[in-house]
């Protein structure tokens, strides 16, 4: 620990707008890393780029549009968290461990549920219009 309470190598965030700007930079670095290194994230991001404009067009109200686009965004958020868990597990070591496998499986299940949520939301919002 350093005298200021920070561990060696820890990111210092600053204050006010400086902190916000640095946090934005770290977030952009994370998005860039996910796009460069995670095929699943690239696929889901591409799907969102196609479906988000469709959601804005098909949604009959602001609430419907928010639900349709929000469900897509949730998939990206979940995939980012899953990728982060996988990166940490892989960092620990390449050997198989029951807890490492469980962590990866749970992350994968979270992504699956977020994708199932997209299907449910889109069906519940759009089907009544055509039924």
pLDDT of residue 38: 94
Find the catalytic residue in 38, 44, 64, 79. Answer: 79
Q: If the chain, 131 residues long, is cut into consecutive pieces of 10 residues, what is the mean pLDDT of each piece?
A: 50 79 93 94 96 96 97 97 94 87 94 98 93 83
pTM reported for the whole predicted model: 0.82
SS3 of 113, please?
helix
Straight-line distance from the first to the last Cα atom of the chain, in angstroms, rounded to the nearest whole number: 63
Token pair for residue 59? 């949604």
- Among candidate residues 81, 74, 55, the one with its CA nearest the CA of residue 113: 74
Is the Cβ–Cβ distance between 55 and 68 less than 8 Å?
yes
CB proximity list for 113: less than 8 A, separation 6 or greater: 78
> Is residue 44 annotated as a catalytic residue, yes or no?
no
């Amino acid at each position: 620990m350093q005298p200021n309470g920070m561990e060696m190598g820890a990111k210092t965030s600053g204050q006010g707008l400086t902190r916000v700007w640095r946090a934005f930079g770290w977030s952009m670095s994370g998005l860039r890393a996910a796009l460069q290194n995670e095929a699943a994230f690239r696929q889901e991001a591409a799907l969102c780029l196609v479906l988000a404009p469709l959601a804005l067009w098909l949604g009959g109200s602001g609430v419907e549009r928010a639900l349709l686009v929000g469900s897509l965004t949730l998939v990206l958020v979940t995939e980012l968290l899953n990728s982060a868990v996988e990166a940490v597990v892989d960092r620990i070591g390449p050997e198989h461990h029951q807890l490492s496998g469980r962590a990866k499986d749970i992350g994968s299940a979270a992504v699956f549920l977020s994708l199932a949520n997209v299907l449910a939301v889109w069906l519940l919002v759009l089907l009544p219009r055509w039924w």
